[in-house]
Chain A
Amino acid sequence: MTARIGVVVFPGTNCEHDVVSAINRAVAVAVAVAGAGAATGDGATETVRAEAGLVWHGERSLAGYDAVVLPGGFAHGDYLRPGAIARFSPIMDAVSAFAAAGGPVIGICNGFQVLTEAGLLPGALQKNRDLRFLCTTVGVTVCSTRSVLTCEAELGSVLRIPINHFEGNYTCDDETRARLRDEGRIVFRYTDNPNGSVDDIAGVSNAQGNVVGLMPHPERASDLLLGSADGMPLLRSLVVSAGRRASLPA
């Protein structure tokens, strides 16, 4: 089975080709397809292969895609605030509708900022505590496997994944933070908080787990040649999630 994954390109996005390349190398394990026995895992299984393609931000439709990624970069120059202008790009109405229909939506770094500005994820990302641009590899703990980006990852595992941001300091009010904790929506935590994020949060999901945003770049940890392949369980999870969606009856 082939799952199609759309990678959105805004003016100023710069990680789209890395994401496409990493996704296309993340051949997934067998997935229970929809139909008899799917819920119990006794049904038919298929191996999912992803086919990622670029989607210009001026498009208005995501028809034919089984998952969407908003990659990193500096959408619309990050002017005003990161993500503030990108959230009004024409494609974003389709992204919101796709998310509301249960489609897997991932925001990486700048994409995470876009998703919070769009209200698809709670909270906001403000300037790093020490006012420094951070470009380093950090430890990230998988805190929930109930998300489209971690369903194939091991709960509690620590992944070595690069970060590359100035505004990655996750901020939300106490009520939101309590809700995220109680509902198991803190998907990733830093092992050694680099930027001042509340509760060491590196990534969160929506209530359904189908929209996930994270500051670390899994696509930059997709091959041992890059220093780490720890991002692959996340990318495989995305491919599996897209495969599940692709197997749903139209």
Chain B
Amino acid sequence: MKFEILVEVRLRPGIADPQGATIERALPALGFTGVTDVRVGKAIRFTTEAADVDDARRRAAEMTERLLSNPVIEEADVDVRARP
């Protein structure tokens, strides 16, 4: 089966995020007040072959741990969907 994976990587809480802070400071200038906790990350999408959804999730988690994120400063969410 084929699965579509979305890995969302962002800096861990407590790690300074200068891009997020800059965006947060820019939004009020456009009239968007009350915006807090802006964090900038990256999204990585791919399609993978796997036996079932658990297998796909396990493979994606391992890829995320070993390459797609740096666990020292980043955390990640992995979303797995069976390809229609």
Contacts and interface: CB of A to CB of B under 8 A. Distances in A.
Interface of A: 80-81, 84-85, 88, 116-117, 122-124, 126-131, 169, 171-172, 196
Contact residues of B: prevailing secondary structure: mixed
A123 B15 CA distance: 12
Contacts of A81: 70
A129 B70 contact: no
Given A80-B67, A88-B67, A124 B72 contact: yes
Contacts, number: 35
Nearest to B44: A80
B70 A117 contact: yes
Given A131-B22, A171-B16, 8 more contacts: A81-B70, A85-B67, A88-B67, A126-B15, A128-B18, A129-B16, A131-B19, A171-B73
A169 B15 CA distance: 11
Given A130-B18, A131-B18, A84 B70 contact: yes
A196 B16 CA distance: 9
Interface of B: 11, 15-16, 18-19, 22, 67-68, 70, 72-73
B14 to A, nearest CB: 8
A85 B16 CA distance: 24
A95 to B, nearest CB: 18
B4 to A, nearest CB: 20
Q: A128, A129, A171: which has the most chain B beta carbons within 10 Å?
A: A171
Contacts of A172: 72
Q: A80, A128, A196: which has the most chain B beta carbons within 10 Å?
A: A80
B18 A129 contact: yes
B16 to A, nearest CB: 7
B11 to A, nearest CB: 7
A129 B15 CA distance: 11
A99 B76 CA distance: 30
